[in-house]
Structure 1
Amino acid sequence: MRSNEIETLIDLMAKLPGLGPRSARRAVLHLIRKRALLLTPLSDAMQAVAISARECLNCGNVGTSEICEICSDDKRATGEICVVEDVSDLWAMERAGVFKGRYHVLGGTLSALDGVGPEDLSIPRLVDRVTAEGISEVILALNATVDGQTTAHYIADQLEGRVRLTSLAQGVPIGGELDYLDEGTISAALTARKQI
């Protein structure tokens, strides 16, 4: 028999993305077996993050201060803002290490089916930032979904004539084989073709 505390931990772990009940049980058992090495430091780190984590007042990134390290870095004031749907997208862009400007996290995408309208996202804050920060280019790095493209078109309408608008290239991924790609990806790649 497991104690209520262990069962509660398993239930909570099972709610994390990518973990089901079986994976959560294995993870908890591993943590208990490595209590001094993993469980106690993990518990301390989670407590510290629970106390200190906050959303950046400027861009929506998650950090430990009112204004995140990216927004407070003067070297990143390049006049470019990369617009992403969620913080995980921002972190993915940062892992690539190629974008040296600042970001803006929307907090999702427009979705009529889910009842998400422009007022539910940080689009008005983006429009304010473009004016206040003297932004010259807005890069729309939104997912290539119907909702992502709808959101991109809405933002483009809001910023039309104020700033240069660009989007990430779409098409054949590096290492991709045409035989394994869907028709939409092939169509986007053909439309966005460039001269060699």
Structure 2
Amino acid sequence: MKFHLEGVGVAFADRRLFSGLSLTLESGDLTALMGPSGSGKSTLLAILSGLMPPGEGTRRVTGAPPGEQAVSWIFQNSPGLTRRTVLDNVSLGPLSAGATRQQAEDAARSALQLLGLGDLAGTRLFRLSGGERQRAAVARCIASRADLILADEPTASLDARNRALVCQALDAAARNGSVVVVATHDQAVAQACHRVLDLPALAAA
């Protein structure tokens, strides 16, 4: 599956974020999207997801029937069901994608192991630290095996060890066939990706 942006531009009032932006992302890609605050990284993720139409240009998806690609998001502070177990929370990803309960739990346990949370599967979410909750949110997204995974500053609150676990999980998702795009300011995260796109440079090209 491929996601194409062709001549995309966005402006708000009298401020133009970018224009004439063209790129193609395909299954297996793990891409870092970098740029200073206000450069339009989150806006570009929203356009890639299909939630926001570009002001200029087009977004196309090839390799899948129109409207049938699955998109999953990881936010800097992702919400969760605090009174349910970690396993329940992570299972929501694959369940929402149509998996059976057993399939969802199997996928969730694999994702939790990948993120160093396997021993906490039966723990209620509210008992986890902030960093553990963030890794659980990443696990939920990874377990869904969505066609497109969009991560907006997913490691901002994590230490170096947990940041590395998240990067490994995102890499595994890409190798399983997802298109993964990470908006980040973190050079260590960028170095863990397969390629880096500098948004200001892209917009100026």
Greater relative contact order, per chain length (Cα 8 Å cut-off, separation 6+): 2
Largest Rg, 1 or 2: 1
As a proportion of its length, which structure holds more helix? 1
As a proportion of its length, which structure holds more strand? 2
Please report the TM-score for the alignment, with normalisation by the length of structure 1. 0.29
